[in-house]
């Protein structure tokens, strides 16, 4: 078995530009070449190898944490994590720090290495059978009077002198030292002590961070990755059901496409029609071809100098779905027309589509509104229809590199325990696919006018999770809360470049699964 990597090499935007006008929300990913596996050079000892020490409230327990160093041992880095408390209460490692979407072990594999300058994220290493490459030792309970918890977990080795670590229920811990394992034998263990498998047989997930911005109400969606921009326009704007005749509202959408093409001077413009799987394959193929041709013809009328591109029109019917889920929402994602431009793009911009807003220029709030930092009580219904009285507070938004990091707190203000909650999350991500963060904070967004920016995300390691999709760079679970107990949740968004932001949690329920309860924070200061 070969060593698994999700990392792909980014290229400058301008070689391959992909714009998508869709009949439902969608996103197209252009494959990027996978770099050769090269063992990183051992870092020079230019940083202090001492762990980063901090105090944090972890599920209501005051915990003293020691994060790092990350000791490089061959292709892998071993992260040291220590934890103890002198306060009241206790918390288990599995309860707070384990990636329960992958493992039932008591381990620190819920921690992720984040490079917000390079735009990459590293998840913990696993064996081919899905076992964590890590250890906790004899004690996995953080409690006063017990021995401190000391654990280790392996990652793909970064080539930077320090790394940031996103710690569940704590937040982003910055500038954790990356050192040569041979120089800190008292602060690490060999990879061979954590697993019997050869390093080349391990899964070491590493991926690029990507952003997703949508027109509120889903009419226009834009996705940016290292070399791709995806523009989506909903089916209600383009076509009626089973029709290839463009609607009266379609022209407004094509003005947005034109705006995206302004800075592209030449190349191949490929217009591709797609349908869902309702009806026969033959009918769907014919419909997809007719819709693609209708889009190309109308663009030729509306967009000046379209002949600067080599226009190719094709239909793919139901053969190239974005999702195989059999729901109305999923089928809407698959009904789309893709506009792919390969040529000379320079900068890419985004224009909003006019829609009804409130006096503040934002979509009308669905729930309570908080001025600046602070909290609000929401009455959230769980999957069984039981009411959860929860305090939801925004504690801080600060700038790190080209990103913003938000810290929130969820508190059980009711009289009964809360065993799980989706108060900040949705089972569907921004593109409508099943999410692995659906009990965490994946539906905490930023609003700029009617543009909604979702938490940054990345492609999960294929075959590692029960789903193949994206993980948001957020806390993956609020956890169980006793009355009065709190859970800290962190979210990473792309930087807006502004001094204040609006943080918005929209209604997140689907037809079958409960999701987030609405709450909004306006005029939130951003710390540098």
Q: How would DSSP label each residue in 222-236?
A: EEE-SS-EEEEE-HH
Q: Is the CB of residue 84 less than 8 Å from the CB of residue 74?
A: no
Determine, yes or no, domain membership for 12: no
Q: Distances in Å between the alpha carbon of 137 and those of 65, 90, 140, 194, 466?
A: 16, 17, 7, 11, 28
Domain residues for the domain of 307 are: 234-343
pLDDT of residue 351: 36
Could you tell me if 278 and 373 lie in one domain? no
- Say what the pLDDT of residue 355 is: 43
In angstroms, rounded to a whole number, what is the distance separating the alpha carbons of residues 272 and 31?
A: 17
Is residue 59 located within the same domain as residue 164?
yes
382 and 261 part of one domain = no
140 and 244: one domain?
no
Same domain as 242, residue 122: no
CATH classification at residue 454: 2.60.40
End-to-end CA distance of the chain: 45
Element (H, E) at 300: helix 281-302
Degrees to nearest 5, angle at CA 47 with 42 and 50: 105
**Cβ proximity of 482 and 419 under 8 Å:** no
What does the pLDDT read at residue 356? Answer: 47
pLDDT score of 94: 95
Could you give the C-alpha distances from 168 to 20, 70, 74, 276, 423, in angstroms and in order? 35, 18, 27, 38, 17
Looking at the structure, tell me whether residues 472 and 405 fall in a common domain.
yes
SS (H, E, C) 355-393: CCCCCCCCCCCCCCEEECCEEEEEEEECCCCCEEEEEEE
Is 116 in a helix, a strand, or coil?
coil
Distance CA 312, CA 339 (A): 10
pLDDT for 5 equals: 35
Closest C-alpha among 327, 332, 233 to residue 275: 332
Which portions of the chain are predicted below pLDDT 50? 1-39, 41, 225-226, 228, 344-356
**In this structure, are 375 and 335 located in the same domain?**
no
Among residues 502, 503, 505, 499, which one has the least CA distance to residue 518?
505
Structure-block tokens of residue 50: 């001492």
Can you give the pLDDT at residue 195? 97
CB half-sphere exposure, 71, CA atoms < 13 A: 20
Q: Do 413 and 466 belong together in one domain? A: yes
Listed in sequence order, the residues at least 6 apart from 384 whose beta carbon sits closer than 8 Å to its beta carbon are none
Query: Is the residue at 117 inside a domain?
Result: yes
Beta strands in 118-198 (DSSP E): 120-122, 134-135, 141-143, 149-156, 162-167, 171-180
**How many structural domains does the chain have?**
3
- pTM of the predicted model as reported, rounded to 2 decimal places: 0.72
End-of-domain residue from the set 305, 328, 343: 343
Last residue in a domain, options 174, 208, 242: 208
Cβ 141 vs Cβ 70: under 8 Å: no
Distance CA 84, CA 95 (A): 15
Q: How far apart are CA 319 and CA 280, in angstroms?
A: 12
pLDDT score of 448: 87
Structure confidence at residue 15 (pLDDT) = 35
Task: State the CB neighbour count (10 A cutoff) for residue 417.
Answer: 12
A 10 A CB-CB count for 188 gives 25
Task: Return the SS3 of 95.
Answer: helix
Q: Tens of pLDDT along 484-506? A: 999 999 999 999 889 999 999 99
192 and 260 housed in the same domain: no
Q: How far apart are CA 173 and CA 246, in angstroms?
A: 51
Is residue 386 packed enough to be buried (19+ CB in 10 Å), middle (13-18) or exposed (0-12)? Answer: exposed
What element of type H or E holds 332? helix 328-334
pLDDT tens per residue, range 170-189: 999 999 999 999 999 999 99
Query: Does one domain contain both 158 and 193?
Result: yes
| Spatial CB neighbours of 401, under 8 Å, sequence gap ≥ 6 | 116, 117, 495
DSSP-based three-state secondary structure for 185:
helix
Residue 351 in any domain: the answer is: no
The beta-strand segments (E) located in 182-294 are: 206-208, 211-215, 220-224, 229-233, 267-274
Residue 197 domain flag:
yes
Residue 168 lies in a domain: yes
Q: Say yes or no: 156 and 276 in one domain.
A: no
Domain co-membership, 186 together with 251: no
Are the C-beta atoms of 71 and 120 separated by less than 8 Å?
no
User: What is the structure's pLDDT at 124?
Assistant: 98
Which residues are paired to 56 by β-bridges? 63
Is residue 18 one of the residues assigned to a domain?
no
- The reply to whether 391 falls in a domain is yes
Helix (H) or strand (E) holding 96: helix 93-97
**Distance (Å, whole) CA 409 – CA 169:** 9
Q: What is the CATH number of the domain that holds 261?
A: 3.30.1330.60
The answer as to whether 1 is a domain residue is no
């Amino acid at each position: 078995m070969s060593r698994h990597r999700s990392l792909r090499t980014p290229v400058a935007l301008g070689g391959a530009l992909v714009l998508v006008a869709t009949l439902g929300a969608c996103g197209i990913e252009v494959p990027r070449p996978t770099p050769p596996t090269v063992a990183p050079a051992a870092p020079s000892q230019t940083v202090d190898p001492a762990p980063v020490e901090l105090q944090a409230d972890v599920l209501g327990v005051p915990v003293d944490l020691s994060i790092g160093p990350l000791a490089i041992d061959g292709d892998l880095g071993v992260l040291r994590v220590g934890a103890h408390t002198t306060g009241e209460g206790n918390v288990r490692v599995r309860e707070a720090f384990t990636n329960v979407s992958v493992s039932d072990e008591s381990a620190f594999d819920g921690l992720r290495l984040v490079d917000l300058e390079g735009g990459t994220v590293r998840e913990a290493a696993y064996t081919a059978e899905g076992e964590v490459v890590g250890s906790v030792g004899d004690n996995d309970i953080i409690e006063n009077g017990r021995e401190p918890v000391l654990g280790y977990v392996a990652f793909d080795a970064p080539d930077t002198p320090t790394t940031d670590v996103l710690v569940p229920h704590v937040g982003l811990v910055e500038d954790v030292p990356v050192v040569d394992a041979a120089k800190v034998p008292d602060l690490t263990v060999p990879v061979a002590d954590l697993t019997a498998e050869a390093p080349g047989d391990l899964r070491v997930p590493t991926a690029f961070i990507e952003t997703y911005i949508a027109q509120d109400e889903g009419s226009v969606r834009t996705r940016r990755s290292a070399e791709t921009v995806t523009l989506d326009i909903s089916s209600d704007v383009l076509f009626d059901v089973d029709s290839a005749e463009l609607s009266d509202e379609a022209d407004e959408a094509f003005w947005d496409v034109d705006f995206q093409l302004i800075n592209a001077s030449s190349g191949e413009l490929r217009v591709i029609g797609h349908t869902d799987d309702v009806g026969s394959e033959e009918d769907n193929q014919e419909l997809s071809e007719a819709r693609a041709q209708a889009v190309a013809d109308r663009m030729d009328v509306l967009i000046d100098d379209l002949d600067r591109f080599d226009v190719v029109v094709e239909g793919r019917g139901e053969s190239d779905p974005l999702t195989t889920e059999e729901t109305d929402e999923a089928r809407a994602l698959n009904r789309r027309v893709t506009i792919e431009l390969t040529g000379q793009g320079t900068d890419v911009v985004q224009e909003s589509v006019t829609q009804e807003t409130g006096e503040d220029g934002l979509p009308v709030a669905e729930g309570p509104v908080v001025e600046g930092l602070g909290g609000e009580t929401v009455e959230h219904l769980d999957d069984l229809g039981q009411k959860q009285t929860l305090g939801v507070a925004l504690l801080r938004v600060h700038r790190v590199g080209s990103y913003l990091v938000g810290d929130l707190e969820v508190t059980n203000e009711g009289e009964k325990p809360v065993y799980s909650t989706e108060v900040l999350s949705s089972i569907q991500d921004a593109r409508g696919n099943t999410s692995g963060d659906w009990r965490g904070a994946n539906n905490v967004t930023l609003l700029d006018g009617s543009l909604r920016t979702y938490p940054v995300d990345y492609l999960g390691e294929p075959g590692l999770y029960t789903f193949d999709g994206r993980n948001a760079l957020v806390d993956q679970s609020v956890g169980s809360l006793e009355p009065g107990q709190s859970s800290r949740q962190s979210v990473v968004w792309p930087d807006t470049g502004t001094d204040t932001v609006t943080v918005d949690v929209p209604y997140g329920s689907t037809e079958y699964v409960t999701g987030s309860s609405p709450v909004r924070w306006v005029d939130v200061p951003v710390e540098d």
